[in-house]
Amino acid sequence: MRTYRLAVLGFGNVGQGFAQILKEQGALLAQRFGAQFSIVAVSDLQKGSVYNPDGLDPATLLAAIQTKGNFDDVRAPQRGWDALVTIAKSNADIVIELTYTDLRTGEPALTHLRAALQNGKHVVTTNKGPIALAFPELDQMARSKNLEIGVEGTVMSGTPVIRIGREMLVAAGIKRIQGIFNGTTNFILTQMETGASYAAALADAQAKGYAEADPVGDVEGYDAAGKVVILSNLLMDAPLTMTEVDRVGITQLDAQQIAQAQAAGECWKLLGTIEKVNGQVRASVRPTRVPLRHPLAAVKGATNAIVYTTELLGDVTVVGPGAGRRETGFALVCDLLAIHRKLRG
């Protein structure tokens, strides 16, 4: 049995989903994979910070948030450490970065990831900001120190797409990637097809925990553009930046346009596309009308989908959850198990 000590930075939806999975599946993971994942530190700006070098019980952490909304009553030998002190002083082997996403600066997550790597700790994150903005730099840093970076949850939450792409489909020659990469907007478009208003559908997406803290990132297509940048960097060897993605969101779509598409046997989807044309990579995020017989038309609600068009296999499609606390929490488990497999040899 190998034990990994984890420092969790940010304990919002995803952090709580992850703790829930460890609470429910921890014993199974240990039995099935020989890996024990022990949360030793949690540091959250609003909820407080607790550190116990011998481990904190996920059930206790979750109960504290459910009853009081903070860690004030959680017994721990050390309290009050901010993220950077937690990284520097805790005995964690792996830092799990789950602070809020900022696709303009990547902060504060970018500083946290750099500090973790500098301190010799592996990192796992679902935060799109630093990965969309600085993956090459972080990857280089990690390689130079023989450390791992897990980013599976940055695209399509726990649905495995990045690892499948990087480790398997790259060898089949990926020419084009297209998909539905934002759960909130797909949920809104689906709800509007059944007559809901845009505002009611957005409020519902927020209540269900799909939307970003600032939902402008979802509805204006920035979130999907961030994922397009991540996919192009990691899977197509094309170091695009956010400004190079031709981006349009869904805020200009009204009930009439939704109805017009339906009358024509089509539906609206916010599609992200990365394509190699004459050796150049082009990327876009655009609301697009697709025929109802198109495979992506059947993808409803917060579900996401990705179609890899490859030289050797033709189209390979993966459909699955694209958002949600447990769904995204699960991506962290996949990345942790990948680190375990690598270190175990």
Residues that bind ligand HSE (CB under 6 A): 157, 182-184, 210-212, 218, 223, 322-323
Q: Crossing angle of helices 222-235/128-144, nearest 10°?
A: 20
Please identify which of the residues 47, 121, 128, 227 carries the catalytic annotation. Answer: 227
Burial 57-87 (b: 16+ CB within 10 A, else e): ebebbbebbeeeeebeebebebeebebbebb
Tokens of 16: 């709580």
Q: How far is the CB of 242 from ligand HSE (least distance, A)?
A: 15
CA–CA dist 16, 324 (Å, integer): 11
Least separation in angstroms between CB 168 and ligand HSE:
23
What is the smallest separation between the CB atom of 10 and ligand HSE, expressed in angstroms?
A: 14
To ligand HSE, the closest distance from the beta carbon of 46 in angstroms equals: 19
Q: Which CA distances in Å does 154 have to 4, 28, 104, 257?
A: 22, 25, 16, 31
Residue 308, CB-side half-sphere exposure with 13 Å CA sphere: 22
Residue 23 a catalytic site member:
no
Give me the DSSP letters along 162-220: HHHHHHTGGGG-EEEEEEE--HHHHHHHHHHHTT--HHHHHHHHHHTT-S-SSTHHHHT
Which has the closest alpha carbon to 156: 252, 226, 100, 261?
226
What is the nearest approach in angstroms of ligand HSE to the Cβ of residue 210? 4
Tokens of 97: 């970065």
What DSSP string runs through 112-165?
A: HHHHHHHTT-EEEE--HHHHHHHHHHHHHHHHHTT--EE-GGGSSTTS--HHHH
Q: If we measure between CA atoms, which residue out of 45, 315, 43 comes closest to residue 174?
A: 315
Q: Verify cis geometry, omega within 30 degrees of 0, for the bond prior to 108.
A: yes
Q: How far is the CB of 205 from ligand HSE (least distance, A)?
A: 7
Sheet holding 122-125, edge to edge: 78-79, 48-51, 35-44, 2-9, 94-97, 122-125, 149-150
CB of 126 to ligand HSE, least distance (A): 8
Q: Considering only CA atoms, which of 169, 170, 127 is closest in space to residue 149?
A: 127
By C-beta, is 210 or 308 nearer to ligand HSE? Answer: 210
Report the distance separating Cα 275 and Cα 298, nearest Å: 23
The enclosing H or E element of 68 equals none
List active site positions. Answer: 227
